[in-house]
């Protein structure tokens, strides 16, 4: 252990606890009471000081010594502590797998208070190769009558999802049973006495957990989710967390397919109850949630409605939120104002009509966070009449840095509307207020926005510049200083050329007083005032102690000497577009790889690199190393790159030739674009596209698209069509199958539409360009 780690621990007694643990747990026989006390102390250290207190090696030895406590059976309170600590250690310690068998034995045999702990710990020690062995145990726990065991098991399966989703999928029926079975603590006690419920919200908690896991399992299956919403409506769901989750589910469905809430949407017959009136059932669900007297549910519905802009419910939602603004519970007020703040800019009309009055009273709320949000919300919908008074109301001193930043963010959106008022306020804030780097940077960003704006703002811009000059005299953050120096260099000569000497003086002061990073930035800024600063730069070039600063001075001077008309932009390199640049680099990289692999270091032709870029076909110019070789020569895979890849390509190329009449029609393969993912990985179908460019002679080019379509649903889909043609390209796609479709550019006819039809459910992907 290094001296540094010792130093960091000097204040605590972690090392004593660590040593005590090792010796006490290795005793034989152990003293359970002593062990439990020690474990409690260790647990406290782990929880309060974080896992980083001990390094991996220490954690591992702690784990092994704790594992020795498994020999002490029939002591539930000790075992519970053991589980708690192992659960914490498992993320850092190696080899926690060693506890698997012992934990499994507890899960299997014991029916007592430690079982939930055992189940929860079990998931932490399993990995993908051993998870399947816990399947039977998890299944029996999931169907347990005891809600805490069932919940533990369901939550554990949720955590296992990323490493063993197949195993958890097999538990889905048992999990879903938990949604309907109302498992309650009260009836469980064999003696019949009631367990006091400390948290009324936690009644039927397993319902919430089960719904969460079921959602995770079905999240790629839209129809399955719709069924879930109908199957478990509020008549089934009794737990309020489950209800919130249910609302989220509805929101998620609507977000993915807005047509669900259209009147008489063609999905409404899908397993739904016949609706008595004409209102869409999903709207009805949300309306119900808004009236339900559970604040968490109401807030969730508000969030969904505002986010998805469900026009029909907006008025109702604003009513609800407005009523929340005056409840005594701080948390509810905070939640409501936070939602309002987030969507203030989207619904300024509603805000003004129904809420602004409430908000004005909240400005003086005793909770500073709430009052900050109230002000920023008002700012977002503010107009010329009240903006000055609002800004005067901002009490920035009492709030935490995070909220200061929120205020600045909301001002940023207003800066274009009221540049004078706000920039004055910001300048004051910048100069007279303490704050973090982020806070100061945000302010500078806002001010730069003002400087950048095209409008003629009179003296505002020059005032900002002068104030920035003032500010850098006393600024503690290098990052901010560098940024401001750049701004002065950039805008000083443009906006306020007559005052150049003022800027030069302030910038040059930095050269004398600050660290080398700031000095380098100052040199560049000075070079923007070439008429005044040539001599200064010469002095810096000769005298500065830092290489970088001298180098920069030398460069700007030599630049100035070269260009006859020294302009402010003399330094800026002519930029290629970013995309082009990145492509160049990729081509260069592949060329360099070939160069290194060939081992022939005598020649390297640089011009060859820019050739594909300049060939005019900017879309398809990514040349992969091995393939280009095969395209120029015969179709033998070239020896200098991974042959498996080449063979795969060769197969694809053969297929293309086969479909489109061979090399005589298409010509030679010139290049292949990188595989591009068109969908995100959570959609029903994952689609990749890749372009193959063939060239007959110098003029005729053909682009062939290769679509790789993968079905992630758990049922097969039929009749997949791509493009506007009516031909079915894929007749059947099994779950998890991946298939290739080839289409030429002509066949697509500039319509990049993929159409899937499965059991009357249609999905359309449209892409603007490929």
Partner 1 sequence: MGNYFSSMFDRLWGINKDVRILILGLDGAGKTTILYRLQVGEVISTKPTIGFNVETLTYKNLKLNVWDLGGQTSIRPYWRCYYSNTAAVIFVVDSTDKDRMNTASKELHMMLKEEELQDSALLVFANKQDLPGALTASEVSEQLQLTDLKDRSWSIVASSAKNGEGINEGLDWLIDVIQDEQMN
Nearer to partner 1 (CB atom), residue 74 or residue 602: 74
Backbone angles phi, psi at 689, to 5 degrees: -130, 150
Nearer to partner 1 (CB atom), residue 128 or residue 133: 133
Interacting span for partner 1 (CB under 8 A) from 1-9, 61-69, 278-286, 495-503: 61-69
CA-CA-CA-CA torsion sign (464, 466, 471, 472):
positive
Q: Nearest distance from residue 99's CB to partner 1, in Å?
A: 5
Q: Nearest distance from residue 96's CB to partner 1, in Å?
A: 9
Q: Nearest distance from residue 78's CB to partner 1, in Å?
A: 14
Q: How distant, in Å, are the alpha carbons of 87, 148, 159, 602 from that of 154?
A: 17, 10, 9, 65
Q: Nearest distance from residue 100's CB to partner 1, in Å?
A: 4
Q: 676-686 in b/e burial notation, b at 16+ Cβ within 10 A?
A: eebbeeebbbb
Query: Element (H or E) spanning 689, and its range?
Result: strand 685-695
Interacting span for partner 1 (CB under 8 A) from 68-76, 278-286, 488-496, 635-643: 68-76
Q: How distant, in Å, are the alpha carbons of 318, 319, 322, 325, 581 from that of 354?
A: 7, 7, 7, 12, 52
759: alpha, beta or left? (left if phi > 0; alpha if psi -120 to 50): left
602-631: contacts with partner 1 (CB under 8 A):
none
Q: How distant, in Å, are the alpha carbons of 48, 88, 320 from that of 53?
A: 10, 12, 47
Residues 6+ apart with CB under 8 A from 667: 694, 695, 696, 697, 700, 702
Q: Nearest distance from residue 597's CB to partner 1, in Å?
A: 37
Q: Measured at the alpha carbon of residue 151, what is the angle toward residues 147 and 155, in degrees to the nearest 5?
A: 180
Q: Residue 68, interface with partner 1 (CB under 8 A)? A: yes
Q: How distant, in Å, are the alpha carbons of 223, 269, 472, 499, 683 from that of 266?
A: 13, 7, 64, 69, 21
Q: Nearest distance from residue 71's CB to partner 1, in Å?
A: 4
Helices (H), ranges, 563-672: 578-598, 607-614, 625-632, 643-660, 662-666
SS3 219: coil
Among 8, 41, 43, 67, binds partner 1 (CB under 8 A): 67
Interacting span for partner 1 (CB under 8 A) from 67-75, 112-120, 241-249, 360-368: 67-75
Nearer to partner 1 (CB atom), residue 97 or residue 197: 97
List, as one string, the DSSP characters of 529-570. SHHHHHHHHHHHHHH-S-HHHHHHHHHHHHHHHHSSS--GGG
Cα gap 585→583, rounded to integer Å? 5
SS3 157: helix
Nearer to partner 1 (CB atom), residue 101 or residue 197: 101
Nearer to partner 1 (CB atom), residue 62 or residue 414: 62
Nearer to partner 1 (CB atom), residue 98 or residue 223: 98
Nearer to partner 1 (CB atom), residue 122 or residue 465: 122
The count of residues interacting with partner 1 (CB under 8 A) is 20
Q: Nearest distance from residue 121's CB to partner 1, in Å?
A: 12
311-340: contacts with partner 1 (CB under 8 A):
none
Cα gap 164→157, rounded to integer Å? 9
Q: Nearest distance from residue 97's CB to partner 1, in Å?
A: 6
State the first-to-last Cα distance of the chain, in angstroms, to the nearest integer. Answer: 55
Q: Nearest distance from residue 260's CB to partner 1, in Å?
A: 46
Q: Nearest distance from residue 220's CB to partner 1, in Å?
A: 32
Nearer to partner 1 (CB atom), residue 99 or residue 355: 99
Q: How many CB atoms lie within 10 A of CB 565?
A: 6
Nearer to partner 1 (CB atom), residue 28 or residue 577: 28
Nearer to partner 1 (CB atom), residue 95 or residue 677: 95
Per-residue x/- mask for partner 1, residues 12 to 41, rule CB under 8 A? --------------x-xx------------
Cα–Cα nearest to 491, from 468, 512, 514, 519: 468
Tokens matching residue 420: 């004078």
Q: How distant, in Å, are the alpha carbons of 131, 682, 710, 747 from that of 686?
A: 27, 8, 5, 22
Q: Measured at the alpha carbon of residue 586, what is the angle toward residues 582 and 592, in degrees to the nearest 5?
A: 140
Q: Nearest distance from residue 92's CB to partner 1, in Å?
A: 17
Q: How many CB atoms lie within 10 A of CB 14?
A: 18
Q: Nearest distance from residue 13's CB to partner 1, in Å?
A: 25
Cα gap 246→208, rounded to integer Å? 9
111-140: contacts with partner 1 (CB under 8 A):
130, 133
Q: Residue 412, interface with partner 1 (CB under 8 A)? A: no
Nearer to partner 1 (CB atom), residue 24 or residue 202: 24
Three-class secondary structure assignment of 707-744: EEEEECCCCCEEEEEECCCCCCCEEEECCCCEEEEEEE
Nearer to partner 1 (CB atom), residue 62 or residue 247: 62
Q: Residue 191, interface with partner 1 (CB under 8 A)? A: no
Nearer to partner 1 (CB atom), residue 136 or residue 273: 136
Q: Nearest distance from residue 57's CB to partner 1, in Å?
A: 13
Nearer to partner 1 (CB atom), residue 16 or residue 133: 133
Interacting span for partner 1 (CB under 8 A) from 60-68, 191-199, 685-693, 718-726: 60-68
Q: Nearest distance from residue 766's CB to partner 1, in Å?
A: 50
Q: Nearest distance from residue 36's CB to partner 1, in Å?
A: 18
Q: Nearest distance from residue 176's CB to partner 1, in Å?
A: 28
Torsion of CA 406, 410, 413, 415, to 10 degrees: -100
Cα–Cα nearest to 43, from 94, 82, 5, 90: 82
Q: Which residue has the tokens 């290795």?
A: 26
Cα gap 356→339, rounded to integer Å? 14
Nearer to partner 1 (CB atom), residue 26 or residue 563: 26
CB 66 within 8 A of CB 60: no
Q: Nearest distance from residue 98's CB to partner 1, in Å?
A: 4
Nearer to partner 1 (CB atom), residue 136 or residue 494: 136
CB 416 within 8 A of CB 448: no
69-108: contacts with partner 1 (CB under 8 A):
70-71, 73, 95, 97-102, 104-105
Which residues are near partner 1 by CB under 8 A?
26, 28-29, 64, 67-68, 70-71, 73, 95, 97-102, 104-105, 130, 133
């Amino acid at each position: 252990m290094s001296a540094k780690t010792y130093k960091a621990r000097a204040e605590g007694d972690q090392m004593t606890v660590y040593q005590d643990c090792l010796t006490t747990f290795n005793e034989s026989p152990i003293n359970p009471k002593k062990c439990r006390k020690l474990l409690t102390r260790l647990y406290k250290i782990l929880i309060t000081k974080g896992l980083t207190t001990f390094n991996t090696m220490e954690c591992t030895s702690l784990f092994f010594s704790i594992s020795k406590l498994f020999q002490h059976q029939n002591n539930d309170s000790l075992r519970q502590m053991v589980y708690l600590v192992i659960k914490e250690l498992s993320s850092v310690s190696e080899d926690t797998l060693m506890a698997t068998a012992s934990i499994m034995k507890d899960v299997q045999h014991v029916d007592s208070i430690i079982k939930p702990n055992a189940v929860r710990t079990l998931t932490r020690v399993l990995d993908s190769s051993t998870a399947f062995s816990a399947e039977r145990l998890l299944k029996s726990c999931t169907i347990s009558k005891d809600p805490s065991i069932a919940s533990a098991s369901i939550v554990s399966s949720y955590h296992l999802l990323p490493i063993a989703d197949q195993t958890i999928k097999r538990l889905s029926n048992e999990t879903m049973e938990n949604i309907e079975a109302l498992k309650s603590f009260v009836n469980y006690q064999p003696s019949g006495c009631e367990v006091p419920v400390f948290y009324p919200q936690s009644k039927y908690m397993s319902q919430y957990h089960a719904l969460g896991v079921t959602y995770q399992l079905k999240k790629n299956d839209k129809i399955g989710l719709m069924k879930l919403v109908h199957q478990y409506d509020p008549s089934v769901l009794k737990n309020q967390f489950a209800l919130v989750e249910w609302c989220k589910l509805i929101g998620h469905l609507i977000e993915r397919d807005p047509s669900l809430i259209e009147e008489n949407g063609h999905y409404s017959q899908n397993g739904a109850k016949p609706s008595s009136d004409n209102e869409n059932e999903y709207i009805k669900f949300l309306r119900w949630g808004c009236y339900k007297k559970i604040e968490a549910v109401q807030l969730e519905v508000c969030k969904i409605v505002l986010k998805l802009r469900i026009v029909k419910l907006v008025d109702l939602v604003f009513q609800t939120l407005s009523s929340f603004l005056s409840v005594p519970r701080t948390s509810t007020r905070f939640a409501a104002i936070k939602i309002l703040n987030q969507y203030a800019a989207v619904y300024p009309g509603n805000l003004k009509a129904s809420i602004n009055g409430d908000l004005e009273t909240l400005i003086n709320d005793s909770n500073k966070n709430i009052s900050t949000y109230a002000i920023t919300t008002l700012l977002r919908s503010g107009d010329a009449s009240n903006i000055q008074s609002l800004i005067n109301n901002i009490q920035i001193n009492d709030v935490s840095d995070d909220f200061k930043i929120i205020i600045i963010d909301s001002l940023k959106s207003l800066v274009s509307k009221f540049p004078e008022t706000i920039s004055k306020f910001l300048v004051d804030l910048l100069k007279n207020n303490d704050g973090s780097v982020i806070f100061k940077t945000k302010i500078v960003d806002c001010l730069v926005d003002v400087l950048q704006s095209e409008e003629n703002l009179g003296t505002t811009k020059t005032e900002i510049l002068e104030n920035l000059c003032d500010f850098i005299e006393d600024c503690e953050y290098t990052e901010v200083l560098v940024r401001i120096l750049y701004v002065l260099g950039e805008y000083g000569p443009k906006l306020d050329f007559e005052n150049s000497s003022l800027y030069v003086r302030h910038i040059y002061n930095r050269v004398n007083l600050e660290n080398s990073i700031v000095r380098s930035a100052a040199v560049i800024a000075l070079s923007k005032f070439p008429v005044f600063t040539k001599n200064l730069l010469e002095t810096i070039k000769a005298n500065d102690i830092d290489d970088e600063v001298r180098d920069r001075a030398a460069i700007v001077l030599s630049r100035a000497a070269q260009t006859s008309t020294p302009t402010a932009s003399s330094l800026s390199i002519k930029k290629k577009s970013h995309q082009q640049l990145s492509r160049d680099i990729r081509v260069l990289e592949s060329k360099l790889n070939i160069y290194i692999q060939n081992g022939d270091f005598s020649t390297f032709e640089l011009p060859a690199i820019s050739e594909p870029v300049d060939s005019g076909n900017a879309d398809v110019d990514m040349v992969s190393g091995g393939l280009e070789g095969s395209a120029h020569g015969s179709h033998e895979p070239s020896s200098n790159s991974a042959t498996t890849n080449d063979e795969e390509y060769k197969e694809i190329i053969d297929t293309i030739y086969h479909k489109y009449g061979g090399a005589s029609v298409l010509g030679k393969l010139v290049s292949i674009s990188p595989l591009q993912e068109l969908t995100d990985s959570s959609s029903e179908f994952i689609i990749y596209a890749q372009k193959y460019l063939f060239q007959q002679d110098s003029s005729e080019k053909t682009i062939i698209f290769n679509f790789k379509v993968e079905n992630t649903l758990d049922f097969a889909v039929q009749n997949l069509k791509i493009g506007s043609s009516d031909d079915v390209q894929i007749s059947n796609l099994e779950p998890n199958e991946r298939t290739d479709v080839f289409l030429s550019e002509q066949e697509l006819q500039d319509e990049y539409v993929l159409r899937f039809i499965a059991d009357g459910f249609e999905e359309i992907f449209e892409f603007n360009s490929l």
